[in-house]
């Protein structure tokens, strides 16, 4: 099993996310828009990595979370998203990519007035995610979600 642990390997995760995000013919027919909750679909999974497609309506957000034992990258395919990694908030446009290693905690949200779509790649495949609340004294872990819950 190849696990993407080095910086060059994380660059491959980012390039996978970017190339898929910039090729809508491969995924546009799958996208669903839901105002009730963020829509997502796993496009691929093997022993090395997995790929997810997500849509975001205005105001939808992940809340602060990590990716357990996985490294990853996500690319904006359509629309704009904003990422808050507890140090800086950054706006991301189509083609923009964020790659991250272990212990990366962030909140991703659609603060625009239009839908957005993003592609996410994780290695190894996600097994769990921890959710956090941001308080005046810092982050507090509030939940642990296991892959079988998705």
Residue ranges for the known binding site for Fe cation are 65, 67, 106
Nearest to 81 by CA among 94, 64, 72: 94
| Residue whose tokens read 């941001």 | 134
Are the CB atoms for 70 and 100 separated by under 8 Å?
A: no
Cα atoms in the 13 Å half-sphere on the side-chain side of 89: 9
Measured CA to CA, the distance from residue 8 to residue 117 in angstroms comes to 26
- Going by the DSSP 8-state scheme, the letter that residue 22 receives in this structure is T
Which tokens in the block code for residue 101? Answer: 């290693």
Measured CA to CA, the distance from residue 143 to residue 146 in angstroms comes to 10
């Amino acid at each position: 099993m190849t696990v993407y642990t080095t910086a060059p390997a994380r660059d491959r995760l980012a390039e996978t996310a970017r190339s898929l995000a910039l090729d809508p013919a491969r995924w546009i027919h799958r996208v669903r828009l839901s105002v009730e909750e963020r829509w997502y679909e796993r496009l691929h999974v093997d022993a090395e990595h997995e790929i997810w497609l997500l849509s975001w309506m205005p105001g939808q957000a992940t809340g602060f979370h990590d990716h357990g034992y996985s490294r990853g990258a996500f690319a904006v395919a359509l629309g704009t998203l904003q990422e808050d990694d507890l140090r800086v908030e950054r706006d991301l446009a189509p083609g923009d990519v964020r790659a991250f290693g272990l212990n990366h905690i962030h909140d991703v949200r659609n603060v625009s007035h239009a839908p957005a779509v993003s592609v996410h790649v994780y290695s190894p495949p996600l097994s769990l995610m921890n959710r956090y609340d941001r308080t005046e004294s810092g982050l507090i872990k509030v939940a642990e979600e296991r892959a079988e819950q998705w």
